[in-house]
């Protein structure tokens, strides 16, 4: 049967385009619709749906550090400086040139009463283009040849009068579609980065371990500093071996954590010098620069090359077998750059292959994703950075694109709140709680920390602990965790939001937060009987008894 | 034997638990949940513990399926006894509101903890009070079943609420609360945030439903203020019940909250409580017989508006209880 010149086989609406054939079907759900389908042929960019745009839209960019924010469509420009474009390359987007000339939103987009979002990114890169007052849902297949029909990434369309609620529902459907299994543990700990950066020494590590005793951390993580080179993931000469690092951290009762960028290879690394065949290539067969950082060209590991795969697996096995059980995996987008690979797959498929190797190597240990494409990472990471780098400064007038800045980092902590606990644990980036060596004032320190706590995010502090630290803010932030948060105001013109969290460790809490005016107000629930719980196992019949009694707050 | 069996005719799972047959009737000389007796050796404030005679067990024995028709599965779940106070001669209607607030917090914490197990799909809190509804102990207590499946009436509630949401883009209970407040015929008791009413569609003569006015999906989303008022409402309703015919009034109190760990949205589920009682008058029982049991079609001999008025008129002085 033909409907509007398209063949309908009772289940799918089928039609042919220039180089491909596509079948689509619409599934009704209580909150709207899901469009599923199949496609075959020579696959480039495919448009599968469009709808009218509003003047104001809520957009999202593809990876951890990128913004999620409300924009005014008219005259919107990304405003990326030229020198940054030269170095950022694929950290900006898998199709950086496309980002530059169009208004696009990756994975999902929203207007005040509708959310459109793709549910997966397994083969294609899903995004939305905003053009001629329309929102167009697109799938980029990077010229994939599909001789047989393959499933498209499903698209959901949700409608209601509360956009924030729709984003929460979108997150639910993404969860159902991907069924991610991630750690039940939502970590608290320390990271070296935002004080020591690349200058961390083993002596600094030992000093901070000793000073950390009063914080009750769970994880202690050394950041970029310990390794021989980007790509050569073994300790440099001034650091001891993995086993000594791990054992020393364990002595203090913490889980040992290390940072690495597993898909990145620097131009002077041993891997680059000896194994150029392990890298993603350009059209001429030369290694392709993924981005420039550390004043070096950085190339991407080809996760489809058998030897590179073995190498990737061994990096993690080696660390894990020596006692490292928390991995901050950074610059992950490098695994998803377009280019020539050993096996013909899309960049997204290559990324999935790489992440699967890492997950299989480390079993149930904790992976924090960072600099990572959002949707393809679901199911592989336990925690995910959802903001640009924070910083010991807060600059509302700076450019809003992937630069370290506590202002935009905090904005994204709020605008991506709905992913938390459904796809992974949101990492709001570290809390900087020192009052020295920082431009952050007390109000900003508290605002960043309390928002992170109230949104039930991971809490990692990053200070030289010998400095003056706002310890009370750290402990207050922990008290604010444990709840179910909802945010209102994502479409407000200024960055002022209302966060309400139910059932936190201290009951229900409301927070009005104004990022522009640097102002916040916390409202606590009425007093209530706080109960202590004591669970006892009765060994004679293996039954659990849970005794509750009022907590003696004066004890 | 501990297993569950599937009825393909109705789609129901039936829990078979032969240990429950060994449950004692009313103890002659001592209460097993009083401090220092059988279950709870020392003093306590509130306690929840795994039932000695469970229908569902965390480490339920594996069962082997030998048939594609007569299907069975292991009864993996959790059954707990929830003891409200160590005072034997108390009940919800006498308890200080503060103690009920603590109890609500315990229910909330139990729900949160039990729902963290992937295999738990539903946490059902309930109380059977009075020998007319099969309660074996007078000591104030309730129970909690954490199911590995969605029981049929829960399934039905989810489907109905989902259909309503699909068609009207709103929560059915939020809409009911609004309408009931406008009509003001069946409200029994109301606070700023909680409403108790005989529902328009009551199946039992003195059925009372308690709805938070704000849309919350679980008990643990209630604010502290809402919990305080919820405690007050529970005490007032149970007290009105006792005052209705000037007799200890038997009831079943059942809490309904959203399911857990299922791959489906249920944000349209509105946490609520249903009280039902077998009493239809002084010393008169409304039997749930063939029509009700066989077809789930109920005949209510008392107009809900009349029942609501009777309950509303029972005077309760909170400060004197």
Over its C-alpha atoms, chain A yields an Rg (Å, rounded) of 24
Closest approach of chain A CAs to the CA of B193, in angstroms? 14
Question: What's the per-residue H, E or C state across A231-254?
Answer: CEEEECCCCCCHHHHHHHHHHCCC
- Rounded CA-CA distance B321/B317 in Å is 7
The predicted-structure confidence for A280-316, as pLDDT tens digits, reads as follows 999 999 999 999 999 999 999 999 999 999 999 999 9
- Rounded CA-CA distance B97/A351 in Å is 57
Q: How many domains does chain B have?
A: 1
Spatial CA neighbour of B180 closest among B223, B159, B210, B218: B210
CB contact under 8 A, B264 and A176: yes
Point out the catalytic residue in the list A204, A224, A389, A463: A389
CB contact under 8 A, B221 and A160: no
The predicted-structure confidence for A462-480, as pLDDT tens digits, reads as follows 999 999 999 999 999 999 9
Closest approach of chain A CAs to the CA of B46, in angstroms? 5
- Rounded CA-CA distance B187/B116 in Å is 36
The predicted-structure confidence for B229-265, as pLDDT tens digits, reads as follows 999 999 999 999 999 999 999 999 999 999 999 999 9
Q: For B187-193, what is the mean pLDDT?
A: 98
Give the CATH number, domain containing residue B275.
3.30.428.10
Tokens in use for A238? 């001034």
For residue B166, pLDDT over 90 is answered with: yes
The predicted-structure confidence for A63-96, as pLDDT tens digits, reads as follows 999 999 999 999 888 778 888 888 999 999 999 9
Q: Are B110 and B126 in contact (CB under 8 A)?
A: no
Of A255-264, B23-32, B38-47, least confident by mean pLDDT is B23-32
Q: For B117-140, what is the mean pLDDT?
A: 94
- A542 vs B contacts (CB less than 8 Å): 59
For residue A19, what are the CA distances in angstroms to A16, A139, A143, B300?
8, 14, 10, 66
For residue A8, pLDDT over 90 is answered with: no
Can you point out the beta strands (E) in B62-158?
72-73, 78-83, 122-129, 141-147
Ramachandran class of A462: left when φ > 0, alpha when ψ lies in -120 to 50, beta otherwise: beta
CB contact under 8 A, A546 and B49: yes
For residue A334, pLDDT over 50 is answered with: yes
Listed in sequence order, the residues at least 6 apart from B27 whose beta carbon sits closer than 8 Å to its beta carbon are B137
DSSP state of B249: P
CB contact under 8 A, B46 and A507: no
CB contact under 8 A, B225 and A525: yes
**pLDDT band, very low/low/confident/very high, at A118 (cuts 50, 70, 90):** very high
Nearest residue on chain B to A30, judged by CA atoms? B166
Token look-up 């082997």 returns B64
**pLDDT band, very low/low/confident/very high, at A529 (cuts 50, 70, 90):** confident
- ipTM of model: 0.95
Average pLDDT, chain B: 94
Cα dihedral A359→B263→B116→A502 (10° resolution): 110
Q: Are A186 and A218 in contact (CB under 8 A)?
A: no
Average pLDDT, chain A: 95
- Interface A-B, measured as beta-carbon pairs within 8 A, has a size of 95
pLDDT for the residue A82: 85
Token look-up 């997950």 returns A359
Residue-level length of chain A: 555
Q: For A181-206, what is the mean pLDDT?
A: 97
The predicted-structure confidence for A393-428, as pLDDT tens digits, reads as follows 999 989 888 889 999 999 999 999 999 999 999 999
**What three-state secondary structure class fits A14?**
strand
pLDDT for the residue B3: 95
The predicted-structure confidence for B194-221, as pLDDT tens digits, reads as follows 999 999 999 999 999 999 999 999 999 9
Element (H, E) at A3: strand A2-3
How much is the pTM?
Answer: 0.95
**Structural domain containing residue B218:** 2-320
Q: For A188-192, what is the mean pLDDT?
A: 98
| Cβ–Cβ contact B105 with A under 8 A | yes
- Rounded CA-CA distance B70/B308 in Å is 45
**pLDDT band, very low/low/confident/very high, at B29 (cuts 50, 70, 90):** low
For residue A528, pLDDT over 90 is answered with: no
Closest approach of chain A CAs to the CA of B102, in angstroms? 6
**pLDDT band, very low/low/confident/very high, at A441 (cuts 50, 70, 90):** very high
**What three-state secondary structure class fits B14?**
strand
Alpha helix positions (H), B191-318: 224-244, 290, 304-313
**pLDDT band, very low/low/confident/very high, at A555 (cuts 50, 70, 90):** very low
CB contact under 8 A, B47 and A176: no
Q: Are A447 and A177 in contact (CB under 8 A)?
A: no
pLDDT for the residue A75: 82
- Rounded CA-CA distance A265/A302 in Å is 10
For residue B110, what are the CA distances in angstroms to A544, B34, B107, B198?
12, 21, 5, 28
pLDDT for the residue A79: 77
Closest approach of chain A CAs to the CA of B304, in angstroms? 31
Element (H, E) at A314: helix A306-321
Token look-up 């991971």 returns A458
Helices A442-454 and A406-415 sit at what angle, rounded to 10 degrees? 20
The predicted-structure confidence for B261-319, as pLDDT tens digits, reads as follows 999 999 999 999 999 999 999 989 998 999 999 999 999 999 999 999 999 999 998 76
Residue B141 is a catalytic residue: yes
pLDDT for the residue B24: 60
Residue A232 is a catalytic residue: no
Judged on CB neighbours under 10 Å (0-12, 13-18, 19+), A555 is exposed
For residue B25, pLDDT over 70 is answered with: no
For residue A261, pLDDT over 70 is answered with: yes
Q: Supply φ then ψ for residue A513, to 5 degrees.
A: -135, 130
For residue A192, pLDDT over 50 is answered with: yes
- B162 vs A contacts (CB less than 8 Å): 30
Judged on CB neighbours under 10 Å (0-12, 13-18, 19+), B153 is exposed
pLDDT for the residue A78: 78
The predicted-structure confidence for B62-121, as pLDDT tens digits, reads as follows 999 999 999 999 999 999 999 999 999 999 998 999 999 999 999 999 999 999 999 999
Find residue A125's DSSP bridge partners. Answer: A140
Q: Are A482 and A421 in contact (CB under 8 A)?
A: no
**pLDDT band, very low/low/confident/very high, at B23 (cuts 50, 70, 90):** low
Q: Are A507 and A471 in contact (CB under 8 A)?
A: no
For residue A554, pLDDT over 60 is answered with: no
Find residue A139's DSSP bridge partners. Answer: A46, A126
Sheet-wide strand order for B12-17: B12-17, B2-7, B72-73
Spatial CA neighbour of B47 closest among B94, B85, B78: B85
CB contact under 8 A, A173 and B265: yes
**Pairing state between β A114-118 and A108-111:** antiparallel
For residue A119, pLDDT over 90 is answered with: yes
- B110 vs A contacts (CB less than 8 Å): 546
CB contact under 8 A, B102 and A542: no
**Among A160, A526, A547, whose Cβ lies nearest the Cβ of B228?**
A526
- Rounded CA-CA distance A315/A386 in Å is 25
pLDDT for the residue A9: 79
DSSP state of A255: E
pLDDT > 90 fraction of chain B, expressed in percent and rounded? 88
pLDDT for the residue B22: 66
Closest approach of chain B CAs to the CA of A4, in angstroms? 28
**Among B47, B110, B267, whose Cβ lies nearest the Cβ of A547?**
B47
- Rounded CA-CA distance B164/B172 in Å is 6
CB contact under 8 A, B47 and A168: no
- A548 vs B contacts (CB less than 8 Å): 45-48, 102, 105-106, 109
pLDDT for the residue A526: 87
Residue A437: CB atoms within 10 A of its CB come to 12
**pLDDT band, very low/low/confident/very high, at B18 (cuts 50, 70, 90):** confident
The predicted-structure confidence for A125-163, as pLDDT tens digits, reads as follows 999 999 999 999 999 999 999 999 999 999 999 999 899
């Amino acid at each position: 049967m033909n409907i509007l010149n398209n063949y309908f086989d009772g289940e799918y609406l089928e039609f042919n385009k220039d180089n491909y054939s596509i079948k689509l079907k619409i599934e009704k759900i209580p909150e709207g619709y899901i469009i599923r389908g199949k496609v075959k042929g020579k696959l480039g960019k495919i448009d599968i749906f469009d709808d009218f745009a509003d003047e104001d839209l809520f957009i999202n960019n593809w990876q951890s550090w990128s913004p999620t924010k409300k924009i005014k469509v008219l005259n919107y420009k990304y405003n990326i400086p030229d020198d940054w474009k030269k170095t950022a390359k694929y950290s900006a987007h898998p199709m950086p040139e496309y980002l530059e000339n169009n208004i696009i939103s990756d994975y999902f987009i929203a207007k005040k009463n509708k959310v459109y979002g793709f549910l997966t990114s397994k083969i294609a890169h899903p995004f939305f283009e905003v053009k001629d007052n329309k929102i167009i849902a697109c799938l980029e297949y990077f010229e994939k040849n599909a001789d047989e029909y393959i499933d498209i990434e499903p698209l959901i369309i949700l409608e209601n009068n509360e956009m924030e609620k729709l984003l929460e529902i979108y997150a639910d459907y993404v969860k159902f579609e991907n069924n991610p299994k991630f750690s039940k543990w939502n970590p608290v700990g320390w990271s070296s980065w935002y004080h020591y950066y690349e200058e961390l020494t083993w002596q600094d590590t030992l000093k901070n371990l000793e000073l950390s005793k009063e914080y009750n951390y769970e994880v202690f993580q050394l950041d970029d500093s310990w390794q021989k080179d980007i790509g050569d993931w073994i300790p440099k000469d001034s650091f001891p071996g993995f086993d000594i690092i791990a054992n020393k951290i364990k002595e203090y009762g913490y889980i040992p954590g290390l940072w690495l960028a597993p898909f990145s290879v620097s131009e002077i690394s041993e891997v680059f010098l000896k194994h150029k065949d392990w890298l993603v290539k350009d059209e001429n067969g030369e290694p392709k620069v993924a981005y420039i950082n550390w004043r070096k060209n950085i190339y991407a590991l080809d996760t489809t090359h058998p030897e590179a795969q073995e190498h990737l697996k061994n990096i993690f096995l080696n660390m894990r077998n020596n006692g490292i059980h928390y991995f901050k995996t950074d610059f992950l987008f490098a695994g998803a750059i377009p280019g020539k690979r050993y096996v013909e797959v899309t960049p997204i498929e290559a990324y999935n292959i790489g992440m699967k190797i890492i997950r299989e190597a480390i079993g149930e240990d904790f992976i924090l994703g960072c600099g990572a494409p959002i949707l393809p990472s679901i199911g592989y990471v336990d925690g995910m950075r959802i903001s640009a780098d924070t910083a010991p400064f807060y600059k509302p007038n700076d450019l809003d694109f992937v630069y370290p800045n506590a202002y935009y980092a905090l904005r994204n902590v709020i605008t991506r709140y709905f992913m938390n606990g459904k796809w992974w644990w949101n990492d709001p980036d570290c809390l900087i709680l020192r009052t020295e060596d920082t431009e952050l004032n007390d109000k900003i320190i508290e605002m960043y920390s309390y928002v992170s706590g109230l949104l039930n995010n991971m809490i990692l502090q990053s200070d030289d602990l010998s400095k003056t630290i706002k310890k009370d803010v750290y402990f207050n932030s922990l008290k604010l965790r444990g709840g179910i948060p909802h945010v209102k105001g994502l479409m407000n013109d200024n960055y002022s939001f209302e966060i309400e969290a139910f059932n936190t460790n201290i009951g229900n809490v409301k927070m009005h937060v104004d990022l522009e005016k640097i102002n916040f107000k916390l409202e606590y629930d009425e007093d209530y009987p706080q109960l202590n719980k004591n669970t006892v196992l009765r060994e004679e019949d293996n039954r659990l008894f849970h005794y509750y009694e009022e907590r003696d707050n004066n004890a | 034997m501990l297993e569950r069996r599937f009825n393909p005719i109705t789609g129901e799972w039936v829990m078979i638990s032969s240990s429950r047959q060994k449950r004692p009737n009313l103890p002659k000389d001592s209460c097993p949940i009083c401090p220092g007796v059988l279950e709870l050796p020392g003093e306590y404030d509130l306690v929840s513990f795994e039932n000695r005679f469970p229908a569902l067990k965390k480490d339920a024995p594996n069962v082997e399926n030998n048939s594609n028709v007569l299907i069975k599965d292991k009864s993996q779940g959790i059954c707990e006894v929830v003891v409200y106070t160590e005072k034997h001669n108390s009940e919800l209607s006498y308890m200080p509101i503060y103690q009920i607030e603590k109890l609500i917090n315990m229910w909330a914490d139990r729900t949160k903890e039990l729902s963290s197990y992937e295999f738990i799909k539903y946490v059902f809190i309930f109380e059977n009070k009075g020998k007319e509804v099969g309660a074996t102990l007078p000591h104030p207590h309730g129970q909690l079943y954490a199911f590995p499946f969605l029981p049929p009436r829960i399934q039905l509630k989810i489907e109905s609420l989902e259909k309503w949401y699909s068609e009207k883009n709103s929560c059915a209970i939020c809409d009911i609360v609004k309408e009931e407040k406008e009509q003001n015929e069946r409200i029994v008791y109301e606070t700023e945030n909680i409403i108790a009413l005989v529902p328009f569609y009551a199946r039992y003569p003195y059925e009372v439903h308690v709805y938070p006015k704000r849309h919350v999906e679980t008990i643990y989303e209630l604010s502290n203020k809402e919990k305080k008022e919820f405690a007050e409402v529970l005490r007032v309703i149970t007290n009105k019940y006792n005052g209705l015919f000037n007799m200890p009034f038997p009831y079943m109190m059942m809490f309904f909250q959203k399911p857990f760990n299922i791959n489906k949205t249920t944000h349209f589920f509105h946490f609520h409580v249903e009280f039902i009682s077998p009493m239809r008058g002084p010393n008169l029982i409304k039997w749930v017989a063939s029509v009700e049991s066989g077809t789930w079609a109920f005949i209510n001999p008392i107009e809900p508006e009349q029942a609501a008025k009777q309950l509303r008129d029972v005077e309760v002085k909170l400060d004197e209880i």
